[in-house]
Structure 1
Amino acid sequence: MIHILVTGGAGFIGSEFVRSLLASRPGVRVTVLDKLTYSGVAANLAPVAGHPGYAFVRGDICDPVLVDEVMAGQDAVVHFAAESHVDRSIAGAEEFVRTNLTGTQVLLDAALRHGVGRFLHVSTDEVYGSIATGAWTEEQPLAPNSPYAASKAGSDLLALAQHRTHGLGVVVTRCSNNYGPYQFPEKLIPLFTTRLLAGRPVPLYGDGHQVRDWLHVSDHCRALALLLEGGRAGEVYHVGGGTELSNRELTGLLLAATGTGWELVEQVADRKGHDRRYALDGRKIREELGFEPRVRFEDGLAATVAWYREHPQWWQPLLERAALE
């Protein structure tokens, strides 16, 4: 039996990974370590609560004593736990530095002590800054523009340094914008969807021409499962979705999907340091492991909007919890 520690497993991407892993891998033992901060939702793991291979530990990745206890006996770590909302990092960066840097180092140190074979560190395309044309390869120098992105870039470097210095089996992944069910309603797609379903206005930053590549969360987690077993230690891999849209184009699609109109769109001042465009070159994971996204964006977006329409009991309490009302 393989034992896997998943940090941040009650979050959006982490919970999808846990649910899919337990459904597809007989004999796996998954321990989730999650602090259950505002964006960690226990209900995200309700579908696996009774699974014999699942265990949950509530706690902070910055707590070295607790981390040492849960790390004992693990074969691999999949590290999702992070403060991840750019606007919150601009308002106050301290918690981002603490969780994303200190927390990652605590995990790395414990993994090394306990002889963990694989440490999969999940990161973001935002560490590169902005790109006008073309796409970043994994060799692109890091140039983050927000406190969130800077803290993630630092955690990437800490993880890779642990491999180069001590030989820990680290693999770093950098993904494009994820979407899908169970995403906390502060990111663009769930925020706009839930507001539009309630007939409330949505805020579009600046001119709305910032471009992002969109990746369905199930495709992301499928890539992570491949990298958990087949990724080369010490390497960085990109996981992109292959669908580039401006925020304005995406807003139009969400208006159509929710049956609302542009009168609900409020143009607001642009975010400080707002990156104009992200784009990842995904050839490396495709050539080494055969990964290709399977979910067409049109299908994934329709299913995502339908999920939020059908699950108001999941997201309505979260709006108040995150002071989004």
Structure 2
Amino acid sequence: MDAAEAIRTKALALGFDAVGFAPADPDPAAADRLKAFLDAGFHGEMGWLAARAEARASPRALWPAARSVIALALNYAPEGDALATLARPAHGNISVYARNRDYHDLIKGRLKHLGQFIVSRFGAEVKVFVDTAPVMEKPLAARAGLGWQGKHTNLVSRRFGSWLLLGEIYTTLALAPAAAHADRCGRCRRCLDVCPTDAFPAPYRLDARRCLSYLTIEHAGPIPAPLRAAMGNRIYGCDDCLAVCPWNRFAVAGREAKLAARADLIAPPLADLAGLGEEGFRRHFSGSPIKRIGWRRFLRNVLYAIGNSNNINLAAVARRHCAADDPVIAEAASWALARLAA
């Protein structure tokens, strides 16, 4: 068994669903796309994307000793319709990946195990990454043959559709690269047309400033008023462009129990979420990726969803936050109350 096959076998035994190999060489095409994204200002407040753009463009710019990149993926495809909760406006809709444990912790632990295997078996050096460094995960996964970047800019796999969580290992070990995957989107544009905020100015281009995943997670201040109604009941992330991809028909539900949706996070009542309080929020979302945005940003999202609920019974819930010390929360509550009254 050669090194690549041994690593693939070990990775699958550790619970990864897909493994691929790419050279650590610069990727000029990916660097050009990143530059265009940044030049257009599409990154919004994510200044860290621009701060280390050069390191993102090439694995060797981040670690000169790297010779190969091992791209790994974990299937998190949901049971049933990922968008079903959107039809229940008095309940919050949480992105599928965030309905249980934080995948960063899960994947990083497995990457470390695989890295230790590579070091002990082949005497090579390794560095592991899971959304924690200037690494362009999706272009690297595409170069490693795991799929292609669809028109929604996310990775698409013939086997797993749009439901893959990614991690990488940079190594000094020379591994034969896989053939890059052909783009199989064809003329389909479902992911572009379904976006509730028109965040795609063109196929393969995303304006994060209009993306609900960015706005509900990364954006710190008030969400722009013209985009609030389009949020509906999305309180953490958005899966619309992922869920409508036709390639999902080949995906089977993820097998990782720690990523299977908690029953209380599939469609949590907005009234319950708004009443958690800061300490209750920390307890309720302990171990969840939702915890990292903090209670105030989360409550802001919940209040916008209450305003979109068309449920006058939630007016009292919004009213309780109109005098909040945090001006963003107070304004979100007032907006929700006015929208319900209208």
Query: TM-score w.r.t. structure 1 length?
Result: 0.26
Greater strand fraction, Structure 1 or Structure 2: 1
Does 1 or 2 have the higher relative contact order (CA < 8 Å, sep 6+)?
2
